[in-house]
Amino acid sequence: MDGTEPGPSREESPHVPKEFVIFAGTANPELAAAIAADLGMLLGACAIDRFPDGETSIQLQESVRRKEVFLVQSLSPPANEHFVELLALADACRRAAAARITAVVPYMGYARSDKRHGRREPIMGRMVADVLEAVGVHHVVTVDLHAPQIEGFFRIPVDSLTAVPHLSIYLREETSPGVVVVAPDAGAFRMATEYAHRLNGTVAVLHKRRKSGTGTQVTHLVGDVAGRACLIVDDMISTGGTLASAIEALLTAGARPELTIAATHGLLLAGARQKLIHEAVRKVVITDTIAGGPKDWPRLQSISIAPVIAGALKRLVEHRSLGDLY
């Protein structure tokens, strides 16, 4: 004996039924491990690899027969690879006689493709829903869908969790009393209203016109921001173009140069950081639904969403309502 203490095992955990197992894809294994740790267990053993031609190889290394399985995989860049991994994991579990398969997709990619802007375009959000169902997924758990109507694309149950209460706890210490919560476009109004309720603030909305796939222009502001600190909220930070336009519009309208940005999903694609490095921006707050955020950006703060997801999974396994999660 070397005197080392054995780590927690799924069989020994008092918190989790033996028939419950979590597997992680390669999109965000750190978040998956944190979710499992919050539940007092280890991740299920599986091998994910690539064949020389780039095809995905999956092998489950423990039995899932008659077990409830949770597959944790964000559809973050590279979205296509991560999506195929999730499908392969689900198919492997189905063929290995898992009792129930739940896809835990903290960031649901393709959700921006929720309608056709012309007659010859796919609705990728619906296609993703159809394919997940086809490979045997029984249930989807996600966080802050870009478009709420995506839930209606599925015929299986979907639980869309929200990071707003979790982030609001942190933001109470980071924002001034009476902060103005700003929705950078009409689509973020509902989220801004929820933040304002939790932070005892007011709401302002920016209306924008899209100039291109990556560029937008603010046309007008509804709400009073003059002389006040602002919190700009959205479901994601992608290229940063929308938020950069919001920053300039708020400062032009007389907002105090004390801006905070909060978003659930930090995609932070190339160029996003440069757009958000502004002397008026004190902090950018995101969650860890997407892995790989920059480590050398002092004003960027990542808050783990693992406790929220773990709380939801615990309630699902125990056949309890998610109504008391927040």
pLDDT tens column, 274-285? 999 999 999 999
CB 289 within 8 A of CB 30: no
Average pLDDT score over residue span 79-101: 97
pLDDT of 55 above 50: yes
Share of the chain above pLDDT 70, in %: 92
In this structure, whether the domain defined by 20-162+307-317 belongs to CATH 3.40.50.2020 is answered with: yes
67 assigned to active site: no
Active-site residue identified among 67, 208, 211, 314: 208
Tokens for 167?
């982030």
Residue with tokens 């209306």: 207
* Predicted confidence band of residue 294 (pLDDT cuts 50, 70, 90): confident
H-run or E-run covering 49: strand 46-50
In CATH terms, 164-304 corresponds, of 1.10.10.10, 3.20.20.140, 3.10.129.10, 3.40.50.2020, to 3.40.50.2020
CATH 3.40.50.2020 positions along the chain are: 20-162+307-317, 164-304
Predicted model pTM: 0.90
Q: For the chain, percent helix, then strand, then coil, each to nearest 5?
A: 30, 25, 45
Say if residue 323's pLDDT is above 70.
Answer: yes
Which of the 8 DSSP states describes residue 254? Answer: T
Beta bridge partners of 24: 72
pLDDT tens for 113-150 read 778 877 788 999 999 999 999 999 999 999 999 988 89
Residue 98 DSSP code: B
- Which residue has 């997801």 as its token pair? 309
Q: Which residues contact 64 (CB under 8 A, 6 or more apart)?
A: 21, 44, 93, 96, 97, 98
Mean pLDDT of the chain: 91
From the list 216, 214, 209, 208, the residue with the least C-alpha distance to 270 is 214
Q: How many CB atoms lie within 10 A of CB 177?
A: 9
